[in-house]
Amino acid sequence: MDAFVVHGGRALSGTVRVSGAKNSALKLVAAALLAEGRTIVRNVPDIVDIRVMGDVLAHLGVGWQRRGDAVTLDVPADLGTETPAHLVKQLRASIVVLGPLLARCGRARVAMPGGCNLGSRNIDMHLSGLASLGARITYGPDYVEAVTPQLEGADLELPYASVGATENLLMAAVTARGTTRISNAAREPEIADLAGLLNAMGAGISGAGTSEVVVRGVEALQPAVHEVVGDRIEAGTFAVAAAVTGGDVKIEGVSPAHLRIPLGKLRAAGAEVDEGEGCLVVRGPARPRAVDVVTLPYPGFPTDLQPQFLVLLSQAAGTSMVTENVFDGRFSIVEHLQRLGVDLRIEGHHAIVRGARQLEGTTVQATDLRAGAALVLAGLVASGETVVTAPEHVDRGYADFAGRLAALGADVSRRAYAPAAGVA
Ligand code: EPU
């Protein structure tokens, strides 16, 4: 059994380069299914979620090869149309193969997805959108199947700006007959990135990155080469690490424009943030100020940075309120933060954090990807030793998290860990 072992008290300094965005790369490699031949995706993060997606695609018959940060996908004429349950259960994002497989093969059967345990994560909007495009959908407790002789363009209005539904519907619509309009589409930079690859493959998408996306269906797509957008969530995680430790860190490989609201919150909390071309520099205050945070779909404050901000605000002078609007299971970190000494209570979907508490290291458990990263950040400001178990959650989305924090001067390592009797 492995764990992150952290000794707190060091201010971070230096330069870190973020990877390509996990939540973009996962969809870009699925988009490759839409064209027979060789698609190359560069700046792909070397993380477990991508490896699992590679296994899902390999199971469908795709040749998958990584060289450095580039992944080459050789997509055959004859694709498999069924994804294996054991892989899909590890990765919720594998549901995004549904749209491209349906478009390419007229049929797809996908085992029900797994991934982070973030409360009720439904796929009803994916399915009703595909049905409006002409797919016949059947499902059971552990699979969903979609079949169509030919997808037809349609006007789709999403009841909520779902990232995954927007992506699945975009990929289904690119070769549908006629025009598809997606209203109330998600506006995340990862959506624009996906549309960038699809258009390079010959699709006719306009408006991606806004809430009105129009897809003019084309006959077929061709393979293409594409570079993944920088990971704004990884960048935001390092930005909080710099801010909470009173450090001075340059973060490269990300567009600051993709972090406008979280960077505004960091400034409001007293951090100095300088924005450059494809980089930013964050200098932490001696003591952060309290700020309120409300998670919303992009361009709102990202839910994927909410747990990290709980840690920052635990050190702030004053009381902050953090409101979670995206995932109902995203406060699973709370009891672990409380064990470290964070003064925090939950009221419905609000967390009320009373700051300026000295945290004390103990053993806590990563309950999901972002919670795990946030607990490591808490360890950076706790006295003594903090052990974060279940580090495999963090491996899903951060390449060598401990090593990169250590390169910035943190005392953190990932090592074999044997729990004392009675310790979680
Ligand atoms: N929802 C529905 N029905 C649907 C689709 C979504 O009710 O058909 C609900 C979900 O239950 C959830 C909310 O809508 O409460 C948001 O879901 P959304 O579809 O927008 O998110 P997602 O596609 O499942 C992606 C990221 C998440 C990120 C969210 C929000 C990937 C692989 N995952 O999830 O990333 O938090 O968008 O930005 O792209 C992470 O990286 O740690 C992570 C969880």
Ordered DSSP codes for 257-319:
GGGHHHHHHHHHTT-EEEEETTEEEEE--SSPBP--EEB-STTSB-GGGHHHHHHHHTTSBSE
**Ligand 1 test: best mutation among 98, 121, 330, most atoms within 8 Å of CB?**
121
Question: What's residue 89's pLDDT?
Answer: 81
Residue with CA nearest ligand 1 atom 17: 162
Q: Closest ligand 1 atom to the C-alpha of 120?
A: 11
User: Which residue is associated with the tokens 């590890």?
Assistant: 90
Question: What's residue 421's pLDDT?
Answer: 61
- Per-residue pLDDT tens for 83-107? 988 888 888 888 999 999 999 999 9
Q: Are 316 and 269 in contact (CB under 8 A)?
A: yes
- Per-residue pLDDT tens for 158-189? 999 999 999 999 999 999 999 999 999 999 99
Question: What's residue 422's pLDDT?
Answer: 53
Instruction: Specify the CATH number of the domain 2-19+230-416.
Output: 3.65.10.10
Question: What's residue 65's pLDDT?
Answer: 98
Q: With a 6 A CB cut-off, is 369 part of the ligand 1 pocket? A: yes
Question: What's residue 85's pLDDT?
Answer: 87
What phi and psi values does residue 125 have, to the nearest 5 degrees? -70, -30
Q: Are 310 and 282 in contact (CB under 8 A)?
A: no
Q: Is 116 a catalytic residue?
A: yes
Homologous superfamily assigned to 22-227: Enolpyruvate transferase domain (3.65.10.10)
Which of the residues 28, 101, 116, 123 is marked catalytic? 116
- Per-residue pLDDT tens for 348-386? 999 999 999 999 999 999 999 999 999 999 999 999 999
Q: What is the mean pLDDT of each run of 10 residues along the chain (424 residues)?
A: 97 98 98 98 97 97 98 98 89 92 96 58 89 94 91 98 97 98 98 98 98 98 98 98 98 98 98 98 97 98 98 98 94 96 97 96 97 98 98 96 98 90 54
Q: Closest ligand 1 atom to the C-alpha of 123?
A: 8
Helices (H), 156-218: 163-173, 189-200
**Ligand 1 test: best mutation among 163, 191, 232, most atoms within 8 Å of CB?**
163
Which long-range contacts does 414-422 make (Cβ < 8 Å, 24+ apart)? 414/2, 414/3, 414/4, 414/5, 415/2, 415/3, 415/5, 416/1, 416/2, 417/1, 417/2, 417/3, 417/5, 417/387, 417/389, 418/1, 419/1, 419/363, 419/389
Question: What's residue 88's pLDDT?
Answer: 83
How far apart, in whole angstroms, are the C-alpha atoms of residue 216 and residue 199? 11
Q: Where in the chain is the domain with CATH 3.65.10.10?
A: 2-19+230-416, 22-227
Question: What's residue 56's pLDDT?
Answer: 96
Residue with CA nearest ligand 1 atom 25: 163
Local structure of 249: helix, strand or coil: strand
Question: What's residue 113's pLDDT?
Answer: 64
